Structure 1
Amino acid sequence: MSDPAPGLVVRRARPADLDAVGEVTVAAYAEFTTGPDDHYVALLRDAARRDREAELWVAERDGEVVGTVTVALPGSPWREIGADDEGEFRMLAVAPTARRQGVGDALTRVVLDRFRDLGLHGVALSSLAQMSAAHRIYERQGFRRAPERDWSPVPGVDLVAFVKEL
């Protein structure tokens, strides 16, 4: 099988990447926010904070950040639903111009490898029900829906959960 994402490099974010990571994340989530004044946009843009409090990874092609994911290790304040023996990831984001090019799949594979390397037994994540493109990535990677973990961080925002055993 050919490489589904030719020329793509997935690596830990560097300080020089943080502004681009913030902008890619905001752009990727734009259709799911209420606009620039949505309080969540500031969290999406704050890649420096995610890099300090979790592990920030990027997908890069030709020197340009085209995707990112936040890996919330046990103990990270970015964790929401992960059990003690599970990894969790957040804010999987692919630049709108790089969608359907294997970027999300590549980032998810790196996340799974990272948690396996740490000896964790599973992975959990939350997603908006409307994020069907992301759900297709998770299903391809072997995640299953975990409705018993669905939750709402604020009124009107309902999150669905996915889990995978490693």
Structure 2
Amino acid sequence: MMTEHAAHHGEAIDNIDRRIVAELSRDGRLSVRTLAERVHISRTAAHNRVQHLVERGVITGFGAKIDRTSIGLRISALVVVRVAADSGWESVAARLAELPFVEKVQAVSGDIDLMLTVSAPDHEQLSQAILRDIHVMPGVLSTRSHLILAEFDGRPPAQSLDIWRS
């Protein structure tokens, strides 16, 4: 997935880069040797391409996918936030992103401004996070919460890169 940084430099990723990104999005712990074998290039070429993708900001990090419930975050909600017009949504979003239990903040289009994913150990702590931290934050005009009852993984964007038609 290209970031603004990479896009500003006008460098598109080619089919080999797409396959590298797709393989690393499936398993970020792949060795360079295995990655090279999977995309049919030399180890040196694989190493150089990964380094270049990191330098360009296409690959922004390597991490583990964590199951929330296994670390005690048993309840999650999507919280829709409307921001007061004079508050500046970017500063409100940045402050919300720093709150405990807030996993993700996304700016969205339509009649809402921000969509938050919030996870907590139990209903009480989720309620406190929403009502005492999010809802009363300066600049937040209103919130609406939706409990997540079940989740199903789709295809992460980076894994679609290997099926693009150029």
With the shorter chain as reference, the TM-score category is under 0.3
Structure holding more helix per residue = 2
Structure (1/2) with the larger strand percentage: 1
- TM-score w.r.t. the length of structure 2 is 0.26
Greater relative contact order (Cα < 8 A, sep 6+): 2
CA radius of gyration, larger in:
2
